[in-house]
Chains A and B, each alone.
Chain A
Amino acid sequence: MFLSSDDAKSIADKALTRSKADACAVHIQGGLDQSLRFARGGATTNLATAEAALRISSHIGGRIGSCSISRFDDAALAGAVARSEEIARMLPVDPDYVAPLGPQNYGFSDRYDDATANLRLDALADAAARVIEEGARIGVDTFGCATTARRFDAYATSAGLFAYERRSEIDLSATARNRADAWSGWAGAHQFFADRLDAEAIARVACAKGAHDATPVDLEPGAYTVVLEPEATTELAFWLIRTMEARAADEGRSFFARPGGGALLGEKLFDEKLTIRVDPADPLAPEAAVGYEGVPHRARAFVENGVVTTLYRSRAWAQKTESEPIPFAQNFVMSGGDVSLDDMVRSVRRGVLVTRFWYTNIVDRKSLLLTGLTRDGNFLIENGRIVAPMRNMRFNQRLGELFSNIKALGPTRRTWRAAGEGGAPAAPAMLVEGFNFSSKSSGI
């Protein structure tokens, strides 16, 4: 269920008016998601789902009780308000209690387009058809998913805050496998504006990557030079940025903790080529203007020329440490360079071109050791040329070492995220030496 700003405000006001608590906060979010999956050249599942939920948080005597509902009629609102107050009264007083935010100044994040928001499932069938037709043309099986979403978020508080944001989204991802089921390629993209999604290009790249008949070669585990395509770089950067939390660092439970106490803010921990920024006004990968807890997102670097400049900080932890709250970011831009992917490949004597990673997971939080596997387009590079498809490998790699050893960066571009999540990361292709492949995988 997609609500306009006026409708969301009207519902929020009804809830706030009914509140008998010391203070009250309301978050309403919802929208319409449509998706179409296809496999071996035909549709498998599809759906359109309209959803909305309202969460009311009642603040009573330094305690907060919350209740969420999916119906917004008067009876449901009254019930939710009463229940959240009942819960709050039963809870212990929060020693780090933070009152609801008052009015804020938010920037503008350009993420909504009526034409994209109004797409129906037939548009997704069109996108899928491009992939299926390209697969048929060059003789590979195709699999994929196309999704659109239109979503809104509204925040209101008894302290006078009202914020509303909306976004439209579309994504398409495609996997191509050769007819022997022995090799696979992938491509995908996500945009807030449908006219920026190039389904033809996605179809072409995925099918070209999957169209290899040669038997994939095996590489022995060891340290290799790797050329990471932007999706692979994004995956690694995501793990880095999601661990950049101030409280964990201050408490000594993080890679960003200083031995003896405190956070490693202001320290040069990475290669000077590494810069990661978050910015609602960025045209390539705009973050939402309204962040978690209603805190505004501002343009800021988390890592600048290798130096850690910002860590996330909740409002409660910011109050306790007398510092600025910094909301978690869904989106980021990792700065790139001017080396093309082809030039990176040409510079490698023996190494691996990686399309994307799969099932990555942090193994050790102190050293930021990450494990995972390559997937859907792994190629052996010898003497500056791609010479063969290469079987997938597991890696175990410390992110601190990886991002301290960047040899070259390509131009930054938007990378794929599933629509509905609001994600818009952007990253470059990256050339790194000493990437640690720890074992072989037969997975294609």
Chain B
Amino acid sequence: MAPAAPPSTSEASCARGRSAFALDRALLYDLADIALTGARQNGASYADVRIGETRREYAFAKDDRLESFDERASQGFGIRVLLDGCWGFYGARRLDPQSLRDGVERALENARAVKRIQTQPIALERLPVHEAEWIMPMGVDPFEVSASEKADLLLSIIASARDHGADFCSASLSATCEERFFANSLGSRIHQTRTRVAPNFQATAIDRASGRFATRECLAPARGAGWDYIVGAGLIEEAARAGEDARAKLGAKPVTPGDYDVVIDPTNLWLTIHETVGHSTELDRVLGWEANFAGTSFVKPHMLNKLQFGSELMTIVADRAQPGALATIGFDDDGAPAEAAEFAIVEKGVFRNFQMALGQAHLIGLSHSNGCAYADSPTTFPIQRMPNISLKPNPQKCSFNDLISDVENGIYVVGAGSWSIDQQRDNFQFGGQLFYEIRNGQLGDLLRDGAYQGRTTQFWNSLAGLCDASAYHLDGTFTCGKAEPVQVAPVSHGSPPALFRNVRVLNTSDDA
């Protein structure tokens, strides 16, 4: 069933203007028309096309040498057709009229090929029509900064860590710019671009006599931002602290395993939110579409508005418009606007919404998608991916000292370490970069070899305290993996420091 087309809307660009787009507008419209006209003429009830360019830059240094400096630019398109209730998709790294014509034929051929196993025809919900531009607000374009400046920064980060206790250090800088043009057979034409950057380093200290070593990784997060974010991130100072921390970890007290009140810093909690809430509330997983790979979920449709996911302090919101966040964009890869992706997933502890992409909402009785589609390249099939998903701060005033003041015997966890969670997003085990004692309401000594383990709803129902917005911090990753073939997606998660009661803490050296 083809969706009915609502009236079209037209929106203006939000930022710097058309000069930020590299691809020629007239060419994009012409190529899109070739694809969509070809699809319609051959019987497709719906079709869309993504055309784009991705630029990437990656610089990596280790100790006193820059190991690699690489720039990448790739262009391509992907055509998706719905023919007789079957999807067909074809993508290629070419942008010329004949490639688009060939692409339509292959997409239609693929749709025909799957018909024999399409037991239930694909049906689509109502899609709004937009003609729009969106450009991510950004300061300094990272691709305009010289390679020498980036190399100098990396080698300075490494020197700083080594001057402060690290025996070895590696460091990297990543930048990505995605330009995407989306058009569909309903009339949408959307042109967007966004940029993101990620600093990283790892400082290692070694005790040669014992053979032990300890590492401390960068705590500055990846962001949807420009070079000015990198400059302002204080990476050289943080590397100095990392060198000291790595050295201190060698002599730190081992964690005594047991159940603790755990205070989790946003630099660690983002990943816990991502794994336990972000992935468990993806409707494609719930429907079984990821059962063979990324897994399903313990959350089921009948739990909507009923499941007590966490304590009353827990409100988690999805937001595709959050400034500086990695999944921020004007429209998703189905053409749904960012406003659709502003919703509560958990509200005061109660589960309220799944994340959805096109073709899913009607399966649980809803009328439209909520803007959660993403394709990691124009040449890949768009699937359901997270918008930015964040834990709201405490509306009541609460500082970090207030938060730990009633913790008698606890542990404070900083930075993301190793991570693992079961395929239904229940049993998890997360490490960290730094663990500190909390004794009688005060922060104490550094500990080593910690990790915490739990079950998702039990953990979130043990949420007993939250800092206010003054301690809110946005973290995230460039590379969340999902689907077959694997696609990687950028996503941010914000939170304040949070207190959880009676969490099982392991010693990864002795208590594994």
Report which A residues bind B (CB closer than 8 A).
1, 30, 33-53, 55, 64-71, 83-84, 87, 90-92, 94-96, 120-122, 124-125, 128-129, 132, 141, 143-145, 147, 173-175, 177, 184, 186, 251-253, 257-261, 316, 358-367, 369, 371-373, 375, 392, 394, 396-398, 418, 420, 436, 438-444
Contact = CB atoms under 8 A, between A and B. Distances in A.
What's the dominant secondary structure at chain B's contact region?
mixed
B440 interface: no
Contacts of B120: 42
Contacts of B504: 439
B72 A441 contact: no
B379 A51 contact: yes
A91 B151 contact: yes
B118 interface: yes
Contacts of A362: 418
Contact of B431 (A175, A363, A373): A363
Interface residues of B, number: 88
Nearest to B110: A121
Interface stretch (B83-91, B130-138, B190-198, B337-345): B83-91
B296 to A, nearest CB: 8
A39 B287 CA distance: 8
B119 A41 contact: yes
Contacts of A45: 87, 89, 289, 381, 383, 483
A441 B295 CA distance: 14
A364 B71 contact: no
Contacts of A257: 211, 213
B484 A147 contact: yes
A396 B209 contact: no
B70 interface: yes
B204 A253 contact: yes
A42 B291 CA distance: 13
Contact of A47 (B288, B381, B431, B506): B381
Contact of A69 (B74, B87, B296, B424): B74
A375 B423 contact: yes
Given A46-B381, A259-B210, A366-B212, A143 B291 contact: yes
A38 to B, nearest CB: 6
A50 B379 CA distance: 8
B279 to A, nearest CB: 11
Given A87-B147, A439-B453, A143 B113 contact: no
A296 B453 CA distance: 44
A37 B64 CA distance: 46
B431 to A, nearest CB: 6
B426 A35 contact: no
26 contacts: A35-B484, A37-B484, A42-B118, A43-B114, A45-B483, A46-B381, A64-B69, A66-B70, A67-B72, A68-B70, A71-B75, A92-B151, A94-B65, A96-B65, A125-B113, A125-B114, A125-B116, A147-B484, A252-B211, A361-B419, A363-B418, A394-B420, A398-B512, A420-B485, A439-B427, A442-B298
B208 A261 contact: yes
Contacts of A186: 292
B486 interface: yes
A17 to B, nearest CB: 21
B429 interface: yes
Contact of B289 (A37, A259, A397): A37
Given A1-B92, A358-B295, A372-B420, A39 B72 contact: no
Contacts of A420: 485
A173 B24 CA distance: 42
B66 A361 contact: no
Contacts of B65: 94-96
A442 B74 contact: no
Contact of B420 (A87, A144, A147, A360): A360
Given A39-B289, A147-B485, 10 more contacts: A38-B117, A47-B380, A67-B70, A177-B291, A253-B204, A260-B209, A359-B420, A366-B211, A438-B453, A443-B298
B486 A418 contact: yes
A42 B92 contact: no
Interface string B435-464: 000000000000001010101000000000
A397 B381 CA distance: 37
B512 A396 contact: yes
Contact of A70 (B93, B208, B295): B93
- Indicate the member of A34, A316, A436 with the most B CB atoms within 10 Å: A34
B208 A252 contact: yes
The 9 closest A-B pairs by CB, nearest first: A259-B211, A443-B422, A441-B427, A443-B424, A70-B74, A396-B512, A68-B72, A143-B291, A90-B148
B106 interface: yes
Nearest to B71: A67
A415 to B, nearest CB: 16
Interface in B281-301: 287-289, 291-293, 295-296, 298
Nearest to A121: B113
Contacts of A259: 208-211
B509 interface: yes
Contacts of A64: 68-69
Interface in B484-512: 484-486, 504, 506, 508-509, 512
A372 B209 CA distance: 31
B71 A441 contact: no
